[in-house]
Structure 1
Amino acid sequence: MEYKKILKDEVEVFRENGRRFLNGELTKAEFKGMSGGMGVYAQQDQKSFMIRLRTPSGVASLEHLKLILSYAKKYELDKVHLTTRQAIQLHNLGIEEVCDIMKDAIDHDLFTRGGGGNYPRNVSLSPMSGVEQGEAFDVTPYALDVSRYFLGNATSYHLPRKLKVAFSSSAQDTANASVNDVGFIAVIDNGKPMFRMYLAGGMGGGPAVAIPYPELICPEDTLYCVEAMVQLFEAEGDYKNKAKARTRFIPRRMGVEEFLECYRKHLAHVKAFYKFDGIVPEVEEETATDHVRTATRIPQKQKGLYSLILHPQCGQLLTEDLEKIVWFMDKTPKSDARVSMEEDLYVRNLTLEQIDELWALVGEHMMETPLKMTLSCVGVPSCQMGILQSQKLCREIISAVEEAQLADAGLPQIHISGCPNSCSRHQVAEIGFAGRKAKVEGVMEDAFTLQVGGATAKEGAHMGEIKGVILAREIPKFIVETGQLLKESGRAFKEEMRGEAFEKLVQKYVVA
């Protein structure tokens, strides 16, 4: 295809710019402006690089997993990172290696373009879509359709900043549609498959829950709706102030009603001048008889089939485990894999016997309780924008909780971001931490802002309450004491966090 040639030509231009950056001819900021849109970032040492392979909406085909495994082995990488936007990252590469991977991956329909910078990001998707009990319908075709559309236009976009689109297959909103720039949640309305649409949401600086669109959307119209938001963003977004350049700031400036009216005008324009082939939804009847799930095993809506959640600690999947997963899937023809937004790999369409077999292969390195399945962005030293070592804190929390024998005490999954950018979505977590520096008694210390009680659509989307700042070294002890509190009370964290005992515990640890 023509766009593949364009993308490959871009890689060679980028290769030369990468060399100039390493030679000191380009500043850190200049190179970042060039590299983000290519899905590449320099790491903090300014010598090695990270590449983000956009497994489309987390749909990780066996061919793509084999390809990623081949890169990890060729460049002697001991692990790959499963991201919170359902992509797979490779770290600690040279610029020549990064560019060689990009060109080769294009030949296999695996792309990095738009993985960063002012472009539409990987379209998020419920990892159980198509097999989830209670879902309205399978939204996978719609997410992939938007992904293909974005890719075909990646070289022509001129957006103020990134744009995020999400598709959830049920009210559980496992793709976080209710806090994205454009979100779709599948519903059945009077027996008809439809989408409930959300607009102008997002996390990071100035976070906002998305605005529910007043009318339900026909599934065949999703591309029209997405393109309308792209055009609104290009027309109304802030190109001068980067801090306010996301879609969520537009309705704050206009007012919600004026924003919705503006969106309707763009939607009418797109419908008048564009022609998209809509996808007709398919509603599959549920035949499941098993409805009991565990933290890692989920019964599907298809009778006798299950999905296994593989969560490597901190999202770091060992290359040796990836090789075992690929081997297993290669000999299990009906299986497929999805990368989730929780840094998991879901292996789907398995029998109980096959689940036991796969767990025996890789379970030693996988986490099994919500707390141990805590997620973390890569943070320092891999992330150029990171402030603190989020992965280090993740490991320390898990270690402290295991030592205290509280992994099963009801502690929820924690979301840890190494800076305020919310790559881990700490703002909508039950317990979230965001890295920062804090001055304590005249000394600058590593610390994290604590946020609790966040949620997405299944409970009414809202940002968590900021409780204060805790020193990084004190957080494992704080979590252990929270676990002890839950064990003694027998209550879920959602209840306990509203109580006096938890508030006293928070005040014991906060320094600001």
Structure 2
Amino acid sequence: MECIYPIKRAGFQGVEIVFNICYTWGEEFSIERVLRRGESIMAISEEVRQRFAGEFEKFQAGIEGFFKKEIAPKDFKGIGGGFGSYAERGHESAMLRLRFLGSRILPYQMKFLVNSVKKYDLKYVHFTTGQCIQFHQLQGEQILELYKDCFEHDIYNRGTGGDNLRNVTASPLHGVHPDEPFAVTPYLQAASEYAVSLIGTLALPRKYKIGFSVVDNEGHANYKDLGFLAKENGTFDVYAGGGIGGGSAFGVLVAENVDPKETLQHIDGMLHLYHELGDFNNRGKARSRFIAQRLGEEEFRKAYHEYLEKSKAAHDLTLFVAPYEVKKVGTTTPATPLAEPQKQEGLYYIQYKPLVGTPPIDVFVKLFDYVGGLEETEIRICGDESVYIVNLTGEEADAVAAIIADTHAKNNFEYTVSCVGATICQLGFQDSSGLVKVIKKTLEAQGLSTDRLPQLHVSGCLSSCGTHQVGSLGLHGFTKLVDSKPQPAFKVFINGNGELEGPRMSDEVGVVTVEDIPQFFIDLVKALEVAGQDFDTWKDQQPEAFQAVISKYL
């Protein structure tokens, strides 16, 4: 029996939005699940929406105080971070970080983003390793109005910074890849909604990151605070206590063959473990990986299961989910080599990777406008700062390829991962994204190809925004004393691997000045061309050769 439920959703300033929702008798009823029917919108509970709307005044006061110079930047960080906004270099502008549930951007949200770029004259957009979208170089009124507009389009930026449950990340091809071990999307979606609902309910010593890995490790499941790895037998292996940054560590395998229906129970149990065993007094040792390091693997695993059982005893969070379905049918074959077939017959996906994760704003608008007008399409943000456009017919795939053609990565080097860098980020030591562009421009000017270089992982500071800890060749911003004078520089790392097979954190090689880095890469490319090998093969087979190239710059 079908019934229509009119559901009112609270907005800012008392505005109500009404959706007519179809619900089938016999299903387990909840507003969260029902709101995702019919219009295919993303949803959290009405109670959570009202709570978030009620907190807006705090954010508004913080933004207004910062831009009026009444609140110091260091104090604004403690306010704005919890709403996804941080001050930028020079303290004359700030950014806003947007969260998409399941890292999935649906057509109505794509159209909203296009309209927002035009409405607010947005000029700088960045895809992040945390699978969010950041808009940079914003003024106070832009931030506040955009935040409110995002809320009305099911984009919840609350908790995308600060000591909160951050965006739940995932392998971007869940639900569509031919080799997906089982249907992960509904569990990912439920986990994303649940994580958002927990924001602000329990104090945490630091951020809490959750990831799902399916056919690759772009969800970073084995180096998150909590990670779920999909298995062929329809279960998850669960990792906990991982993360990169200070004291980087891969997670501890705490549970195997976990029924996906218990996903929320694990999220809740880890939340309370983190709350009770985490260090609130020393931020440098506050992430969950330090709990694992302090207790040791065996005791940490034991503690994890104790908190899991406490969660189960306190409340039943068993999931009953509807399958992820795509009704769209494709009948044409794409001409572009960028298109890859999905498990849905006749449908394709395309990956788009702009240099350093920052697409030209006109390409962003064209892409999101076109894809937002198509049936059942999604744009999924990936942990390497690319996006995947899924559920395309052959003709649609060709049209997408034409839009991104000139700005899409052509080789591994152009897939380089980099944070925005110190020209924008107030915490950055050096300009990471600018360095990548200088390397590319320098090599091109010398007539040298970047084809043999690896994907770089570049961070502007000690933090992990560029994931330099898991890169084959990584760099992070630093300072080097040259003739007793500090010079801008980068620490260089090699041998990192963030994949599921053979994972390892990178090894520090030394420090190279920003001035010397372009020449170092010229020498490196020339050495690779003489060897006739790509970087990884050459480095592994001739480690002394790499040391010989870099040693004169250390």
> Considering the TM-score relative to the shorter chain, is it more than 0.5?
yes
Structure 1: distance between partners of 2:483 and 2:337? 43
The one of 27, 40, 43 aligned to 2:85: 40
- Alpha-carbon contact 1:56-1:87 (below 8 Å) kept: no
Cα 1:472/1:8, change in 2 over 3 Å = same
Cα 1:41/1:458, change in 2 over 3 Å = same
1:244 aligns with 2:285: yes
- Alpha-carbon contact 1:237-1:245 (below 8 Å) kept: yes
Deviation at 1:79, TM superposition (A): 3.2
Deviation at 1:214, TM superposition (A): 4.6
Map 1:26-65 onto structure 2 (within 5 A): 26-65=71-110
Structure 2: distance between partners of 1:127 and 1:295? 19
Map 1:425-444 onto structure 2 (within 5 A): 425-444=467-486
- The two structures, once aligned, show a CA RMSD in angstroms of 2.5
Structure 1: distance between partners of 2:494 and 2:244? 15
Map 1:243-392 onto structure 2 (within 5 A): 243-279=284-320, 296-392=338-434
1:6 aligns with 2:51: yes
Letter in 2 for 1:267: L
- Post-superposition Cα deviations, 1:328-369, rounded to whole Å, max 9, x if no partner, equal 224432432111111112112234443332222231222221
Map 1:12-411 onto structure 2 (within 5 A): 12-170=57-215, 172-189=216-233, 193-279=234-320, 296-407=338-449, 409-411=451-453
- Alpha-carbon contact 1:380-1:386 (below 8 Å) kept: yes
TM-score by length of 1: 0.92
Structure 1: distance between partners of 2:256 and 2:415? 37
Q: Give SS of 2:231's match.
A: strand
Deviation at 1:194, TM superposition (A): 0.6
Structure 2: distance between partners of 1:461 and 1:126? 17
Structure 2: distance between partners of 1:495 and 1:108? 47
Structure 2: distance between partners of 1:379 and 1:180? 23
Deviation at 1:454, TM superposition (A): 1.0
Deviates more, 1:452-461 or 1:372-381: 452-461
Deviation at 1:242, TM superposition (A): 0.5
1:456 aligns with 2:501: no
- Alpha-carbon contact 2:106-2:372 (below 8 Å) kept: no
Structure 2: distance between partners of 1:492 and 1:415? 17
- Alpha-carbon contact 1:12-1:99 (below 8 Å) kept: no
Deviates more, 1:76-85 or 1:265-274: 76-85
Identity between Structure 1 and Structure 2 (%) = 34
Deviates more, 1:20-29 or 1:275-284: 275-284
- Gap regions ≥5 residues in structure 1: 285-293
- Alpha-carbon contact 1:80-1:91 (below 8 Å) kept: yes
Letter in 2 for 1:67: F
Q: Give SS of 2:89's match.
A: coil
- Post-superposition Cα deviations, 1:160-199, rounded to whole Å, max 9, x if no partner, equal 00011000113x312111111111110023xxx0111111
Cα 1:407/1:230, change in 2 over 3 Å = farther
- Alpha-carbon contact 2:239-2:255 (below 8 Å) kept: no
Structure 2: distance between partners of 1:475 and 1:303? 47
- Post-superposition Cα deviations, 1:309-328, rounded to whole Å, max 9, x if no partner, equal 11122211223212211332
- Alpha-carbon contact 1:375-1:394 (below 8 Å) kept: no
- Alpha-carbon contact 1:137-1:281 (below 8 Å) kept: no
Deviates more, 1:225-234 or 1:53-62: 53-62
Q: Give SS of 2:500's match.
A: helix
Cα 1:239/1:96, change in 2 over 3 Å = same
- Alpha-carbon contact 2:448-2:525 (below 8 Å) kept: yes
Deviation at 1:280, TM superposition (A): 5.8
- Post-superposition Cα deviations, 1:46-69, rounded to whole Å, max 9, x if no partner, equal 121100011223211111122122
Structure 2: distance between partners of 1:202 and 1:177? 10
Q: Give SS of 2:414's match.
A: coil
Q: Give SS of 1:131's match.
A: coil
Q: Give SS of 2:257's match.
A: coil
Structure 1: distance between partners of 2:528 and 2:324? 41
- Post-superposition Cα deviations, 1:365-404, rounded to whole Å, max 9, x if no partner, equal 2222111121210121221211111111121122233334
1:505 aligns with 2:549: yes
Deviation at 1:26, TM superposition (A): 2.6
- Gap regions ≥5 residues in structure 2: 1-45, 326-335
Structure 2: distance between partners of 1:168 and 1:405? 39
Q: Give SS of 2:388's match.
A: strand
Name 2:537's counterpart in structure 1. Answer: 495
Structure 2: distance between partners of 1:330 and 1:60? 9
Q: Give SS of 1:230's match.
A: helix
Q: Give SS of 1:185's match.
A: strand
Structure 1: distance between partners of 2:520 and 2:529? 14
- Alpha-carbon contact 2:440-2:450 (below 8 Å) kept: no
Bigger-Rg structure (1/2): 2
Structure 2: distance between partners of 1:466 and 1:51? 33
- Alpha-carbon contact 2:222-2:500 (below 8 Å) kept: no
Structure 1: distance between partners of 2:423 and 2:399? 36
The one of 513, 516, 528 aligned to 1:486: 528
Cα 1:407/1:10, change in 2 over 3 Å = farther
- Alpha-carbon contact 1:194-1:216 (below 8 Å) kept: yes
- Alpha-carbon contact 1:409-1:487 (below 8 Å) kept: no
Structure 1: distance between partners of 2:453 and 2:178? 25
| Equivalences, count | 502
